[in-house]
Structures are given as structure tokens and as C-alpha cells.
Chain A
Amino acid sequence: MRERITRREQLAGMAFAAPYLIGVAAFLVYPLAMSLYYSFCNYSMLQPAIWIGWTNYRHLLTDHAFHTALWNTIIYAAISVPFTLALSLLLALLLNQPVRSAGIYRTIVFMPSLVPLVASALIWQWLFNADKGLINAALRPMLHTLGRRILAPLAGALGAGQATVESLRHITAPVWLGDPHWAMAAIIFISFWGVGQTVVIFLAGLQDVPRELHEAAEMDGAGAIHRFFHITLPMLSPVIFFNLIMGIIGSWQIFDVPYVMTGGGPGRSTLFYSMYIFEAAFNQLRMGPACAMAWIQLLIILFLTALAFASARKWVYYA
């Protein structure tokens, strides 16, 4: 009796999972294997693949543009991930306050995360325009006053040279997307605009923190800051962990915004990993190096996630 049910269950289970099992074979395992194979080939899709061994990987060792793309992505991920996490947590704490029309504020903060990234890129490209953009239009008078009224006199008083004082008097707004460093800063900045979903997840997490804990702590005379670090943060740690993992995976794949906004420029200062893969694969039909890079990207993401999971034992608190 028991045996028969199990067999039936086994068949039913596999039948129900069949779409995914077929999908795994067709759209996961086979492509993964092919991509690994191509990474050892010269392949343009227009001619048959030729096995060239480790050549693609060896060439990546000396490919400066690849190093640039890798480095830019590391910088982006290293800054964007922790800062978006901190910012969304702060916003969630703020939006969690019981004030009137909190719902409207939440909606406003959430909305940008729905905007298609191509459109976000265009909006911000326009805002960051060095000459006619809104950001510099606002910055210019502020910097003007700051330079003339505060920085220059201060430097003068501190005995700085004439040249320094003069340059501080003429402090100018950054050219943003025209400047290698500021372009990167701008792209990181845009990631702060789309934190809506992370904020909502944090909000849900905050609402799950038992109120009794806070009340008990307050009775014991614990201040707000103390309660945040000793109750809220530990209780939220699984949610933080989830957002961290999602952040790592997402940030390593950044493509749309820089592709549309800067195309990787100026120079290659905003060339990111996925863009370089795309460029190699579909602008130059160099499928071999593209697949090699994609596999390296996969290994990096797996490594970072594994690292996060390993560290999780130390700081993630499961009730």
C-alpha cells in the first residue's frame, strides 16, 4: 500500500516538475556546457568553432580593457552594494515611523524602482548633463558661493599659496559623464535611486520585529540607538543577508544604465563586466572570449555568495 502510493507520488512529482526539468536541460545545463566549451574555442557563429585550448583565458590575462571592466565592476559593486543597503535600511526606518500620510511617502520612494532602466538612464543622463543639466544648475551657484566666501578666505587665512586660493575661488561643477571619476560616481548614484524594492523588503522585516521586545527594552531604560543595535539589527539580519546576496548578484551584472548612458566612456571609465562581454560577443562576434569572461563572472559571483554564506554564521540571527 505504502509502496504503491510512493511510486504514484514519485511519478506525479516528476510530472509536475517536468517543465522545469526539461527547462533545466535545455536552458541551463546544455547552455552552461556549451558556453564552457566555447570558452576554449575560437568561434564567430558564422564559421565552425576551432578548439584553441586555454588561449582565450591566457589572452584575458593581458587584456587591459578586460582588466578595466573587471576593476570598474569591483569598484561599483564594492561601493554600490553596502551603500544601497545602508541607505535602504535608513529609508525603511524613516518610512516605518507612525506619521500621517506615511503611505504617500512610501509610494514616492518606491516608484523609481519601477522605471525601466533604459528610461532611468536617459533621465539621469539629462540631469547630469554638465552644461544644461538640473544638477549642475543647482550646484553652480552653491559652489560659487562656497569657493568665494568660505574656501578661498579659509585657505588664505591658513596661509595657502596664491594659486591655491585662486583655484578655490573658481571651483567649478563637475562635468559628470564627461569625467572618468565623476561618471562612475554618477552611475553609482543612480543605483541609489532605484532602491525602492529593497526598502519595501526592509519595511516588511521591520514590521516583523516583535513590539514586545522593544517595549521590554524601553522599560529597562535602553535608548533608541541602543535598541536599534541590539534588537532591530539582529532581528533584521536575515533580511539584510537576503538583500546582500541579491545586491551582489545584481551589481555584477550591471548593464542597462551604463550601456545607454555612457556607452562605457569617457575612455573606458564606465565599461562594466557585462558590457564588455556583450561587446565581444555581439559587436565583434568573438564568442570564445565572451564565454570565457562569462564563466569567470559566474565563478566570481559564486565565490562571493559562498563568502557571504560563510560569514552569515557569524552575524545572521535566525529566531
Chain B
Amino acid sequence: MNRKQRLLTHLLLLLAAAAYAAPLLWMIDTSLKREVQAVQIPPVIIPHPLRWQNYRHVLGDPQFDFSLFARNTLIIASLSALGAMLSSSLVAYSLAKIRWRGRGLVFGIVLASMMIPFPVFMVPLYRIFRELGWIGTNLPLWVPAFFGIPFFIFLLRQFYLTIPRELSEAALMDGCSHFGIWWRIMLPLTRPALLVVGLFSFMGAWNNFLGPLVYLTHQSSFTLSVALQVYQSRSGGTSYNLLMAASVLIIAPVLVLFFLAQKTFIRGIATTGLK
């Protein structure tokens, strides 16, 4: 690359970065303004004075009980992650490393079921959960994760296929059971992939909106996404400076998690697209 090209590249990169960062920056900016200042025209760029009270106000609002909703979300997200990791790896192992009749069919179902839109299940699942007495509890949001998530099964199967066959066959010869191989060889070897699954299902549960919207009927069991929407749409409405403060509170944990696990994230996503 010559100088001119390099300059142009940098310029384009800066533009793109600005476009992608601006909404988040503006969110933080607005969250630190007084309401009157937030709606001022022309817009005030630097809030004056910095109004940290907005955060205290949001956190003190009984309609937005952050610690309660964060806890609810955390419980659902952690259990989903745990369930997805355990069940998906078991199933993936069976599809990749055990030879049995019908596994081709099961793999076909795994692939096909990724295409089925959630609304098809919405109503009958609601009925099933009602019969089980689960409506109003968080069970519908994490129990299904323990029955294998197609996308993660697919992902882990691809990982397991890259591990040489000889390894598991040798262990079998030594009298090791399949469970032993899975637990003692496969899981440690594919820990990065497993973490990807855990991270993704954690994020998926954290960001899920439609599921909690349908299944959680009691305010005390709401997750953050639903709580944020409720906070916005409550009678009388909520001002933008407070809404932005609430949004910052919800986004912050995700971004922290991302910065702690940046490599896992990027690697994980990168592998999803590869055959």
C-alpha cells in the first residue's frame, strides 16, 4: 500500500468507527443531562453539569428495580448457558463420535429445526407450559436449553469432527466408556468451543425479549430487556435522559463481558460461518 492508499483507508476506517460508535456515545451523553438540556436545540454536546443523579433516579425507581431484574436475568442466562453447554455437547458428541443408526436423520433434524421461526411454537408452547404450571415462573426460559440447542449442537459437532478419530478409538480399546471419553477427553479438548457456546447462550438469554414478554407474567420475575420496555411504556411515559441511563445500565454488563472475553467472542463467531 502506498501513502495515499493508507491515508484513504484510515479515513474510511475513522468514518465507519464514528458511525458505529456515535449512537452509543450519544446514549451515554444524553444519560448525563437534565431533561431540559436533553431536548435542547441545537443539541448540547457536553452535558453541563454532569447529572449522575439520573442513574440514582433510575436505580431508585420501583418500576425499574435494577438489582432484582439483573438477578432474574442473570439466573436465567446462567442456567441457559449451563444447559446449552451440557446438553449440546452430549448430543454433538453422539453425532460426531458414535456410530449409530439414525444419527444422519437426527443431524438433518438439527439443521432443519434451525430454520423454524419461533412464532410457530409460541402458542402451543404456551399451552404446554400452562399445563405444567410454568407460566409466571422462569422455567420456560431456561429448561429447554437442557434439551439441546440446534445451532450449538451443529457448532460443537463441527469441532468434534476435527479431533482425530484415533484418540477416542484408542480410549475405547482401553475400556473407557463413551461417557468417560466425553467427560475426560472431549470436554477438556474443546473447552474454547464450549465456552463459545456458553457465552452465546448467555448473551442470547440476556438479550431475549419475546420469550420473557410472553412467559413472564409477574413483574417480580421480569428480565432486564422486558423491564426496559416496560419502563419506556409505562403510563405517563419516561423521559429520554432517564431511558438512556437505563439503557446504559443494561448494555454495560454485556460490554464488560465482551471486553473480558473478546477473543472467545470473535473466535466463536468466526467459526460459525465456516464449513
Contacts and interface: CB of A to CB of B under 8 A. Distances in A.
Interface of A: 6, 9-10, 12-17, 19-24, 26-28, 30-32, 34-35, 38, 45, 91, 94-95, 97-99, 102, 104-112, 114-119, 122-124, 126-127, 129, 131-132, 134, 137, 193, 197, 200-205, 208, 238-239, 242-243, 249, 252-253, 255-256, 259-260, 274, 277-278, 281-282, 287, 290-291, 293-295, 297-298, 301-302, 305, 318
B243 A255 contact: no
Contact of A123 (B26, B125, B126, B178): B26
Nearest to A253: B117
Contacts of A122: 228, 232, 243-244, 247
B78 to A, nearest CB: 17
Contact of A200 (B116, B203, B270): B270
Contacts of B134: none
Contacts of A117: 207, 209, 225
Interface stretch (B47-55, B58-66, B140-148): B140-148
Nearest to B178: A12
A103 to B, nearest CB: 9
14 contacts: A17-B103, A20-B106, A23-B87, A26-B128, A34-B127, A94-B16, A104-B17, A109-B17, A116-B251, A123-B244, A132-B38, A132-B41, A274-B119, A287-B123
Contacts of A35: 120-121, 123-124
Prevailing SS type, chain A contact patch = helix
Given A255-B210, A290-B123, A294-B119, A16 B39 contact: no
Contact of A116 (B114, B119, B254): B254
A132 B23 contact: no
A253 B120 CA distance: 11
Contact of B16 (A22, A91, A259, A277): A91
Given A45-B130, A122-B243, 18 more contacts: A13-B102, A16-B91, A16-B178, A28-B116, A45-B126, A97-B13, A99-B10, A109-B17, A111-B255, A115-B251, A116-B224, A116-B251, A132-B38, A252-B117, A259-B229, A274-B119, A294-B123, A301-B115
Contact of A13 (B98, B113, B177, B244): B98
Interface residues of B, number: 92
A193 B125 CA distance: 32
B100 A13 contact: yes
Contacts of B39: 132
Contacts of B228: 116, 118-119, 122
A130 B252 CA distance: 28
B254 A115 contact: yes
A228 to B, nearest CB: 15
Contact of B147 (A27, A131, A253): A27
A126 B115 contact: no
A252 B95 CA distance: 30
Contacts of A302: 115
